[in-house]
Amino acid sequence: MNSILARAKASLFLNTYRNLVMSKFDLLKQTLLGNLGAQIPFSVWKHHPEKDRTPEGLAEEEIAFHREFDHDLLKISFHGRYAVVDWGCLAVYDGAISGSTTCASCAVERLSDWETLEPLDVNAGELGNQVRAVELVSKYTEGLVPTMATVFDTALVADKLCMGKFTDYIVDAPEVMRSALDMITDVMIDFGRAALDAGSDGIFIASQHSTHSAISERQYNEFVFPYDLKIVENLRGKADFIALHLHAREKNEEIRFEKIAKTPGVDAINWEDQTAALSLREGKTISRKAVLGGIDHMGTLRTGSPDEVKAQIFDAAREAGLVRLMIAPGCVVTVDTPKENIQAMADAVRSIDPFSDEWEAHS
């Protein structure tokens, strides 16, 4: 009996010590390195429609959201068309449950429009507004919680510039598109650097052309992956970490994970693991990197009960294994997601003790 009591006291002391000395920065670092920390980290992100159209509005919403749920990594979610407004797109919010903006009109309506696009000053205009938002958020997060700024990859920016006709243009005018893609890549690299200078700790690179249904293998190898690689290569020395989001548009979609996962300089990968063909455990095995996932943001988190949310978190953690795992949504949480479900997610993650007998087998 005395030995059991002694072990219990020792365990309590150890857990208390870990929680006292491990900051969210330490927790993220250890997770990316493949070491178990005092707890499993979690992150959650969403758009803040209408309010995200000014630096002050976006910063205020991101800070309030973090104060409410105290997540371990704060992703700064700029509105969905931030990268194309300065080239002439008109961004509006049409009530989408994602909270993202769309384009009422696009800068590229015909082939010749690609040749009129010019490099941008990322510290001015709409891009400059996002940099300013990072500065404002960073005043709150410094020393409290690591942040990552969202950078769209080149193909995603191009797709938004032309109302989703990117693949048509690369077929019809590949040379014109190569020139445009080079210029877009340089702008997004400059923007990523500016966001890091403004106080962001890491970068979250979002891609929507990683699946087999989105683009052909040849097109991906020629017009997507090289530009993603260039962005990573130019930001990895300045960022504390880089996470890559691979968007899967449909259920059970197959992601080109084998090639993407081994990209040098990428520390973590995020995708819709609860609906895509690839599981978190498979992703960890292939990439040997940290993974962000486990939350069905369009399903259980949005429409389930708090108890169902907790059950899904526990199932995802057991299936994936706790090492190199951050619980996170597969994409942005919808604006109509019940707050009690987000809180249930947070409570479930916080209740996991990686060093307990219950969870030791899943480490």
Domain encompassing residue 188? 25-360
Q: Mean pLDDT across the stretch 37-66?
A: 97
Handedness of CA 299, 305, 306, 307 (dihedral sign): negative
- For residue 336, the domain's CATH number is 3.20.20.210
Percent of the chain with pLDDT over 90: 85
Residue holding tokens 């084998």? 258
| H or E segment and range at residue 282 | helix 280-287
pTM over 0.85: yes
Q: What is the pLDDT of residue 127?
A: 98
Interval 128-187: pLDDT, tens: 999 999 999 999 999 999 999 999 999 999 999 999 999 999 999 999 999 999 999 999
Interval 315-355: pLDDT, tens: 999 999 999 999 999 999 999 999 999 999 999 999 999 99
In a domain, 244, yes or no: yes
In a domain, 10, yes or no: no
In a domain, 294, yes or no: yes
Nearest to 190 by CA among 136, 268, 131: 131
Burial string for 8-39 (b: 16+ CB within 10 Å, else e) reads: eeeeeeeeeebeeeeebbebbbbbbeeebbbb
- Check residues 352 and 213 and name the one with the higher pLDDT: 352
- The count of domains in the chain is 1
pLDDT beyond 90 at 284: yes
pLDDT beyond 80 at 110: yes
In a domain, 6, yes or no: no
Interval 22-33: pLDDT, tens: 899 999 999 999
Q: What is the pLDDT of residue 17?
A: 44
Q: Mean pLDDT across the stretch 36-48?
A: 96
In a domain, 43, yes or no: yes
The CA-CA-CA angle for residues 272, 275, 281, to 5°, reads 70
Number of residues assigned to the chain: 363
In a domain, 18, yes or no: no
Interval 177-201: pLDDT, tens: 999 999 999 999 999 999 999 999 9
Q: What is the pLDDT of residue 21?
A: 63
Q: Give the chain's end-to-end CA distance (angstroms, integer).
A: 28
Contact indicator for 120, 89 with CB cutoff of 8 Å: no
In a domain, 158, yes or no: yes
Average pLDDT, rounded, for the chain: 93
Which amino acid appears at position 183 of this protein?
A: M
pLDDT beyond 70 at 1: no
In a domain, 7, yes or no: no
Q: What is the pLDDT of residue 6?
A: 46
